[in-house]
Amino acid sequence: MSRSTAEAVPALDERIRGEPLVAGGETLASVTETVCAIVEKPRPPRAWYVAFGISAMLAGLLFAMIGYLLIEGTGVWGINVPVGWGFDITNFVFWVGIGHAGTLISAILFLFRQKWRTSINRFAEAMTIFAVLCAGLFPAIHVGRAWVEYWMFPIPNNLSMWPNFRSPLLWDVFAVSTYMIVSLLFWYMGMIPDLATLRDRARTRIRRFFYGLFSLGWRGSNRQWHRYERAYLLLAALATPLVLSVHSVVSFDFAVSQVPGWHTTIFPPYFVAGAIFGGFAMVLLLIVPSREWFGLKNLITMRHLENMTKIVLATGSMVGYAYLIEIFIAWYSGNSLERFTFMNRALGPYAWAFWTMVSCNVILPQLFWFKRFRRSIPAILLVAIGVNIGMWFERYVIIVTSLSRDFLPSSWGHFTPTWVDLCTLLGSFGLFFTLFLLFLRFLPIVAIAEVKSVMPEAKLDRDVHHGQGDYHGDIPRQHERQFGGPETNR
């Protein structure tokens, strides 16, 4: 091989494989120090206090609105006949969708051996848990009289009521609760080695007790690592179909009905793509300030952010395609009610919501075709905020426009949100961010053990040292580039 060819091979290899996943000359010890220092510092950054104060006030507003709702009833909302689902179900579908990206990053990217997930999976898993908690609030309160919800349980009662197991509304309960349990297990199990690290470094008795309690006696022996990785793999395999099933089941709430604009077979893939789209945008929105506040730029590099922007672009294109197909099928079917529904969405009284949705979900993500925007923090934040706004409006458009003008003009109505609707929506964001900020302060926000497994210092790419984990053997040449020369210890 000529000298010029030999020099070109590493350069080509660098371009193919991309930047290192851990930058700044970080070592195994410094990764532990960086992540643990976030929890061990006596005081977090001032920005954390500001964000926590605002979020906690909004969360308090949410619970005040729920209390007001339980006292006064659902008349305090803007719902009416025929728009019986307003902000409540819009918020539910939005938050369930946000919860999708966490398990996608944790489970599906894990099964596909995507190494870049290791620095961001903990964020995404936490986001899933908190988003699903927020989502679960709305079905519980939208029934109005929450104290008689036991009527929906399959238990004998004096009204002889029994759940309708053929209804997708009931499937929702099973799908979302199963997803919540598996996501919670996945999140917690992934943290066990890192909680043990915090336990071993703890300087106070209280910290040592709680981190020791939740690390379940972890000692890092070969046997523990072996069982841990087997269990992690099984949970990933279990969680993967849930990623696809949960929002498919949510879409059935609409697709199995006869309401124009809802009765369509494209809803399951359309909802899943939209959920991943919105979920990744929320991960970007959370991760950008977090890496700045807590000094994580070497662990969460521009490569991680760029990869996520590519997924946002891909899923956003799927969502845009679904919008076009919906309109085409409404025209091609010859169904006058379907045609009217989509004309009404684009030109009717809710046209402002429809065009906000299209602008945020279809037009704005096109910026990510250009590398300069994929690597620009202001552009990433702008698109992430825009996509979250757009995805909320997507659910609003689907629900409100179809219900407000369905079959007979004599039964049409108009939905206008009340101040209680708006405060409840704001409060749900407050609850979500409050929980997330507490997570940032008290738990390891980056998966220390997993990040180390993709570093050249872990030596898991050496032929004779496969080591622990599912990441061995497929990061060749990193070790050579860092330490020089081919590996000869075969």
Per-residue pLDDT at 319 exceeds 90: yes
pLDDT the model gives residue 111: 81
Please work out, in degrees rounded to the nearest 5, the angle formed at the alpha carbon of residue 180 by the alpha carbons of 187 and 66: 120
Q: Which residues does 362 contact at the CB level (< 8 Å), separation at least 6?
A: 316, 319, 320, 323
Closest CA to 263 of 186, 185, 329: 329
Model pTM greater than 0.95?
no
Angstrom distance (rounded) from CA 301 to CA 339: 47
Residue 2 has pLDDT above 70, yes or no: no
Q: Cα–Cα distance between 15 and 31 in angstroms, integer? A: 25
pLDDT at site 17:
58
* Contact status, residue 266 vs residue 335, Cβ threshold 8 Å: no
The yes-or-no verdict on residue 453 having pLDDT over 90 is no
Average pLDDT score, the chain: 86
Q: What is the pLDDT of residue 462?
A: 53
- Helices of type H across 166-221: 168-201, 205-214
pLDDT of residue 92: 94
**Structure confidence by residue, pLDDT tens digits, 12-57:** 555 555 677 888 788 888 899 999 999 998 888 899 999 999 999 9
How far apart (Å, rounded) are the C-alpha atoms in residues 457 and 99? 34
Structure-model confidence comparison of residues 10 and 403, the more confident one = 403
Across 467-478, b (16+ Cβ under 10 Å) vs e yields ebbbbbeebebb
List 6's β-bridge partners, or say none: none
Residue written as token pair 């070497």: 298
* Residue 3 pLDDT level (bands cut at 50, 70, 90): low
Is residue 421 within 8 Å of residue 90, measured between CB atoms?
no
Alpha-carbon distance of 214 to 206, in angstroms, equals 13
Phi, psi for 462 (deg, rounded to 5): -80, 140
List the structure tokens of 13.
């290899």
DSSP code for 75: G
Q: Give tens-digit pLDDT for 168-221.
A: 888 888 888 998 998 899 899 999 999 999 999 998 999 999 999 999 999 989
Neighbours of 28 (CB within 10 A): 14
Which residues are bridge partners to 465 per DSSP?
462
* Burial readout 250-284 (b: 16 or more C-beta within 10 A, e: otherwise): bbbbbbeeebbbbbbeebbebbbbbbbbbbbbbbb
**Phi, psi (deg, nearest 5) at residue 83:** -90, 85
Q: Per-residue pLDDT for 463 more than 80? A: no
Q: What is the pLDDT of residue 196?
A: 94
**For residue 422, what pLDDT is reported?**
96
Instruction: Please give the pLDDT value at position 487.
Output: 44
Q: Does the pLDDT of residue 311 top 70, yes or no?
A: yes
Residue 159 has pLDDT above 90, yes or no: no
176 — alpha (psi -120 to 50), left (phi > 0) or beta? alpha
pLDDT band at 316 (very low <50, low <70, confident <90, very high): very high
Quick one: CA dihedral 329, 330, 332, 337, positive or negative? positive
More confident residue, 160 or 448: 448
Q: Answer whether residue 429 shows pLDDT above 90.
A: yes
Encode burial over 122-150: b for 16+ CB neighbours within 10 A, e otherwise. bbbbbbbbbbbbbbbbbbebbeeeeeeee
- Per-residue pLDDT band for 8 (boundaries 50, 70, 90) equals low
* pLDDT tens by residue, 230-261: 888 888 888 888 878 888 898 998 999 889 99
Least confident of 11-20, 267-276, 409-418: 11-20
State the pLDDT at residue 11.
52
Q: Are 264 and 258 in contact (CB under 8 A)?
A: no
